[in-house]
Amino acid sequence: MLRRWLAVVAMVWLGLPAAAQTSWVQVQALPTLTEALDRARSFAARLPDVNGFVLQSGWYTIALGPYNRPDADAVLAQLQAQGEIPADSFVSEGGLYTNRFWPVGAPPPAAETATNTNADTGTGADTATNTASDGAETDNTTLAAAPQPAPEPIIDETPAEARASEARLTADERMALQIALQWAGVYNSGIDGAFGPGTRSAMAAWQTQKGYDATGVLTTGQRAELLSNYNRVLTEAGMKTVQDTGAGIEIQIPAARVAFGAYNPPFADYPATDGSKAHVVLISQPGDANRMAGLYEIMQTLALVPPNGPRGKSSDGFEIDGQDASIHSYTWVTLKDGTIKGFTLVWPADEEGAFKRIRDAMKSSFRSLDGVLDPGLVPPGEEQSVDMVSGLAVRKPQLTRSGFFISADGMVLTTTDAVKDCARVTVDDEHDAAVTFTDPTLGIAVLTPAEKLAPLAVAEFQTAVPRLQSEVAVGGYSFGGVLSAPSVTFGKLADVRGLSGEDSLRRLEVATEEGDSGGPVFDSSGAVLGMLAPSRPADGRVLPAGVGFSVDSAAIVGALDQAGVEVTTTDTTGFMPAPQLARRAADTTALVSCW
C-alpha cells in the first residue's frame, strides 16, 4: 500500500497525470495563519505533498495531495497507521479550498486543475489568455456583472464523514471536546469521553448557537472551532514553551504578556511587558523540607501573593492561592531529589477566566530540567533593600502602629487610628486579629487574635496616682516593622491632665514617633500608666516637639470593665532599673499592622 502511495507521489513530483487528481488528505485545520504555517513546516519536514489552503470559512487547513480517491484513501490509512498524521484526518474533495499559502507562491487548487486539463488538449493556460484577448480594447469597467447565485452553506464534512472522523478520536480528544462544551455553557455532565445523549444534546445546542445544522455530531471544522474558542485565551496570551536552563525548568508561559527580566535567586523573574498586573516567577533552588518550609513562609510576605485565599503545605510541596481586588496569584512548588522548583503566576483580577486556563496550562506543562539557579548569579549588595526579597517587593501594610498585650492569651490594646478602614489587621506581622472592642471617645481598640498567643509579658495597669515629673518609659515600634523589636523611649510625666484639663489624659515630656502611638506608657515600677495617644490630635493641632499624651490607665480599665474585658491592675509603686524596665516594655509591646 505504501509503495502505491509513493508511486502516486512520484507522478505528482514529475508533473505526470495521476488519473483525476481531485482528492486531498486533510490533516489539520487551524484558526490563524501563524499556527498554520508552523504546522505546515512541521509536516513538510517529514512528509511529501504538503499543502496549505485557506478555507471558505476563513480557517487554514493542511492537506496532502492531490491524489485520485483510491490513492487518497490509501495514503490516509497508511499515515494514520504509522501515527504520522492526526487520527481525525480525512479525505476531502477540496471544494472549500481557496488560496494556497503553502508552499509559498503555489497556485490555488482550481488553477492547478485547469492548467493540467488544458495541457491534455495542447492549449494550456495560453488558451484562456487568448480567449480573453478576443475582447481587447473592451473597457471592462462598462460590463455588467453577471448575476451570482446565492452562496451555498459552508459544509466541511457530510454527516457521514463527520461520524467517520469522530470515530477516530482518542479518548483524550473526546474528553477535551466535552471540557470545551462545558466551558461553552452547553454541557453539564461528566467528563468521560462517552458521547451519550447529554453530549449529543450539548453538541446540537452549540451548533445552533453558531448557526450550524443541529445534527448533534460535530464536523472536523466545528470541533476545531469549538476547541479554538476554548483555547482562545491561551492563544491571546501567547502561550509558549520556554526552557529556562538557568532555573532548570521547562514550562509554558503567557509570552504575549510577560518576558524574562532578571535572575534573583531563587527566582527567575518574568515581569509584564504590557503594563498590566501580569507576572510570572520561576522558583528554583537546592534544599530540603526545612528550606522549603522557609520558602513557604517567605512567599506569603511578597506583594505578589495576597494574604487572602487557600494555601497548604505537605512534605513534598506547597500551593498558595491569593486574591485581592487587584490581582489573583497562584504559587505551586515541589520538592524532589534535593531541589525545590515551581512557579508563581500573577494575573489581573478582572481576567479570572484567562487566569484559570493559563494556570492549568502552566501546571500541566511544568517539567524539571537538570540544574538549579546559582545563588551567586547576583553579587551581594546589588539591588538590596529591606522591602525586597530576591528582587521581589515584600508586601507592606498600609499603616503600622504599636499596641500592648493585656491578657495571657494575646489580646492587644491599641489606638483606634491603627485599625480604621483595614481589610485585615495583624499582630507582630504573622497573627491575624479581629477588632472586638472600640471606645472612640478614649481612642482605644481591643484586638483578639484568631489563634491564642503566649506573650512574654502582660500589662499591669497602675491605679495609683503617679507623681509629677516622675520618670516614664514608652514602648513602641517607632519605625514600623523596619526593626525586629520595639524601642523604648524615656521621658517624664509633665501633668496628670490634658491641655484642656481632661482627666482621661496625662501630658508627657517625651520624644516619640508616630509609630509609637498605641504603645504602653510605663511608670518607674514597670506598671502601665496608660496608652500613648496619636501625636497628631483629631482636632488637627500640631504639638511642639517633645510633647505627648497618654490615655489614663484608670479610664482604660473602666472602659474595658464595662466591655467585659478582664485585665490585671496594681497599686504598687517602686523602682525598676532601666535595663529591666526596657526588657519589660519590649516583652509587652506588640506591632499592629493595618492591611
Residue 20, pLDDT above cutoff 60 = no
Strand-pair category, 425-427 with 367-368:
unpaired
Query: What distance in Å separates the CA atoms of residue 83 and residue 46, rounded to the nearest whole number?
Result: 12
Which helix (H) or strand (E) segment is 66 a member of? strand 60-67
Q: Please give the Cα distance from 249 to 238 (Å, whole number).
A: 19
Q: State the DSSP code for 515.
A: G
CA 84 from centre of chain: 36
Per-residue pLDDT at 376: 66
Task: Give, for 36, the enclosing helix (H) or strand (E).
Answer: helix 33-44
Write out the E strands in 138-278.
239-244, 249-254, 262-264, 267-271
Which region among 5-9, 141-145, 311-315 has the lowest average model confidence (pLDDT)?
141-145
Rounded to an integer, what distance in angstroms lies between the CA atom of residue 374 and that of residue 248? Answer: 10
pLDDT tier, 399 (very low <50, low <70, confident <90, very high otherwise): confident
**Residue 374 near residue 265, CB atoms below 8 Å:** yes
Give alpha helix (H) positions in 266-384.
Answer: 289-299, 352-365
Per residue in 214-247, pLDDT (tens digit) is 999 999 889 988 888 887 888 889 989 999 999 9
Confidence check: pLDDT of 5 > 80: no
Q: Which secondary-structure segment (H or E) carries 452? A: none
Residues 142, 409: Cα–Cα separation, whole Å: 96
What does the pLDDT look like over 258-300, one tens digit per residue?
999 999 889 999 999 999 999 999 999 999 999 899 899 888 8
pLDDT tier, 366 (very low <50, low <70, confident <90, very high otherwise): very high
For the purposes of burial, counting CB atoms within 10 Å of the CB of 502, is it exposed (0-12), middle (13-18) or buried (19 or more)?
Answer: middle
On whether the 397-595 domain is CATH 2.40.10.120, my answer is yes
Q: Say how far apart CA 180 and CA 183 lie, in whole Å.
A: 5
Parse the chain into domains and list their residue ranges: 2-121, 159-236, 238-392, 397-595
For the chain, report the end-to-end CA distance as a whole number of angstroms. 72
- What value does the mean pLDDT take over residues 381-391? 47
Would you state the cell numbers that stand for residue 58, as one nine-digit string? 476563513
Cβ neighbours around 491 below 10 Å, total: 18
Q: What is the rounded CA–CA span in Å between residue 291 and residue 315?
A: 11
Written as one letter, the residue type at 553 is: S
How do beta strands 412-415 and 399-405 pair? antiparallel
CATH second-level architecture of 238-392?
3-Layer(aba) Sandwich (3.40)
The confidence score (pLDDT) of residue 129 equals 33
* Residue 260 DSSP symbol: -
| H and E: helices and strands count for the chain | 13, 31
CA–chain centroid gap for 408, Å, is 41
CB atoms within 10 A of CB 200: 15
Predicted confidence (pLDDT) at residue 137 exceeds the cutoff of 50: no
With beta carbons less than 8 A apart as the criterion, state whether 195 and 180 touch.
Answer: no
pLDDT band, very low/low/confident/very high, at 389 (cuts 50, 70, 90): low
CB 411 within 8 A of CB 433: no
3-state secondary structure of 557: helix
Average model confidence (pLDDT) across the chain:
82
* DSSP code of residue 466: P
pLDDT tens string 468-479: 888 999 999 988
| Residues facing residue 340 across a β-bridge | 285, 335
Residue 595's CB is within 10 A of a number of other CB atoms, namely: 17
* Grid cell digits, residue 118: 488544458
**E strand or H helix at 549, and its extent?**
strand 547-552
Q: What is the pLDDT of residues 185-200, one digit of tens each?
A: 899 998 999 999 999 9
Beta carbons of 339 and 248 less than 8 angstroms apart? yes
The pairing of beta strand 50-55 with beta strand 460-462: unpaired
CB 424 within 8 A of CB 432: yes
Share of the chain above pLDDT 70, in %: 82
